[in-house]
Amino acid sequence: MALLDVSDLSVVFQRRGEPPFTAVDGVSFSVEPGQTVGLVGESGCGKSVTSLAIMGLLPRRGAVVTGSVRFEGAELLSLSARQMRDRRGRDLGMVFQDPLSSLNPVIAIGLQVTEVLERHRGMPRRQAMVEAADLLDKVGIPDPRRRLDEYPHQLSGGMRQRALIAMALACRPRLLIADEPTTALDVTIQAQILALLAELVRDTGTALIMITHDLGVVAGLCDEVNVLYGGRVVERARRHELFRRPRHPYTHGLLASIPRLDAPRGERLVPIRGSVADNIPWDHGCAFAPRCPNALGTCVEVTPQMDEEDGRLLRCHNPVQENQEVPA
């Protein structure tokens, strides 16, 4: 049985006086125990909202969540707020993008770690402090005992993210969701944090959902990758399959727009035209069609369905062929 089974998950935001806005549109994927799964896409593609929906962190008012999120067989979406609260931090942990704003500025790091231990493992404060120092040590924070009494502003960006990871993993959750955990960090620190996540996941057997816009992050970490566009999964494949042979023109475009050191001299970077801003919903044809170099007449008329072909899922009328040169 899968650890997490998300099926047909949709999130619609409704604001008074504004038309409803569909952020996530029937997303399905699953995560096996210990597996690392990537959710990839540009900002606004629905990847963060998907993760918040899984965590039950969307506002109760204004966001309508439908579909199903099963964790170890139990339906999370039908849990009460209180039941979900018992699970968050214990069964599912989450790490956010900006480590500075994600830490409470007026509370010492120590308390921010121990409060999870007190809440879910019923540890007394003193014992929790010992455990917290141990956790900080595990995530590679030097001199952890001293750090317990320090405040977020006294830590470097990388240290802050390490502390957040320590908090998320404090109760050894079976699933960790990392939402762009390296985007706000320096490049050298990014690599360290990714290595740390990979190591922790391997050592603890925690499953990881990695949310990123950066295929480079995915390349080093994920077993399976879901590419999202306009709130829907457009391609899903094993990591190697995806990188070796991207089929969806969007995936192809994402890969082509990454600078590579090993690219032949003179090869141009190929950007994806336009931005998510001018996307159109999925009701009439493919949402990516206006930006797609492969677009056909049918693409703007018939909404493509998800098809399975050689072990991968693909939502495209005219996928990229092997060795095809995609015009920019």
When asked if residue 136 is in the footprint of another protein (CB under 8 A), the reply is no
| Residue (135 or 167) nearer to another protein, CB | 167
DSSP-derived letter for residue 218 is: H
Q: To the nearest 10°, the Cα dihedral for 14, 15, 19, 25?
A: -30
- In angstroms, give the least distance from the CB of 63 to another protein: 7
Interaction mask 256-295, another protein, x per CB under 8 A: --------------------xx------------------
Helix (H, G, I), strand (E, B) or coil at 133: helix
User: Which range touches another protein (CB under 8 A), out of 11-19, 71-79, 122-130, 309-317?
Assistant: 11-19
| Residue (21 or 260) nearer to another protein, CB | 21
Interaction mask 95-134, another protein, x per CB under 8 A: -xxx--xxxxxxxx--x---xx--xx--------------
User: Which range touches another protein (CB under 8 A), out of 53-61, 124-132, 263-271, 301-309?
Assistant: 53-61
* Chosen residue from 24, 165, 168, 197 binding another protein by CB under 8 A: 168
Report the alpha-carbon distance of residue 89 to residue 71 in Å, rounded: 14
- In angstroms, give the least distance from the CB of 31 to another protein: 17
Report the alpha-carbon distance of residue 46 to residue 192 in Å, rounded: 27
| Residue (3 or 184) nearer to another protein, CB | 184
Helix (H, G, I), strand (E, B) or coil at 62: coil
* Chosen residue from 6, 25, 50, 88 binding another protein by CB under 8 A: 88
| Residue (103 or 135) nearer to another protein, CB | 103
- In angstroms, give the least distance from the CB of 292 to another protein: 21
When asked if residue 174 is in the footprint of another protein (CB under 8 A), the reply is no
* Chosen residue from 29, 138, 180, 228 binding another protein by CB under 8 A: 180
When asked if residue 228 is in the footprint of another protein (CB under 8 A), the reply is no
Indicate the residue type of 34: G
Report the alpha-carbon distance of residue 228 to residue 213 in Å, rounded: 10
When asked if residue 19 is in the footprint of another protein (CB under 8 A), the reply is no
Structure token pair of residue 310: 């050689």
When asked if residue 94 is in the footprint of another protein (CB under 8 A), the reply is yes
**Which residue matches tokens 């998800």?**
306
Q: Using only C-alpha atoms, what is the Rg of the chain? A: 21
- In angstroms, give the least distance from the CB of 55 to another protein: 6
| Residue (11 or 237) nearer to another protein, CB | 11
Nearest to 213 by CA among 199, 200, 225, 196: 225
Report the alpha-carbon distance of residue 229 to residue 250 in Å, rounded: 8
Structure token pair of residue 177: 């969701």
- In angstroms, give the least distance from the CB of 182 to another protein: 13
**Which residue matches tokens 């959750």?**
173
Report the alpha-carbon distance of residue 224 to residue 233 in Å, rounded: 13
User: Which range touches another protein (CB under 8 A), out of 54-62, 135-143, 255-263, 314-322?
Assistant: 54-62
Helix (H, G, I), strand (E, B) or coil at 13: strand
Nearest to 76 by CA among 156, 5, 171: 5
DSSP 32-56: -TT-EEEEE--TTSSHHHHHHHHHT
| Residue (16 or 268) nearer to another protein, CB | 16
Nearest to 120 by CA among 86, 95, 94: 86
When asked if residue 231 is in the footprint of another protein (CB under 8 A), the reply is no
- In angstroms, give the least distance from the CB of 202 to another protein: 23
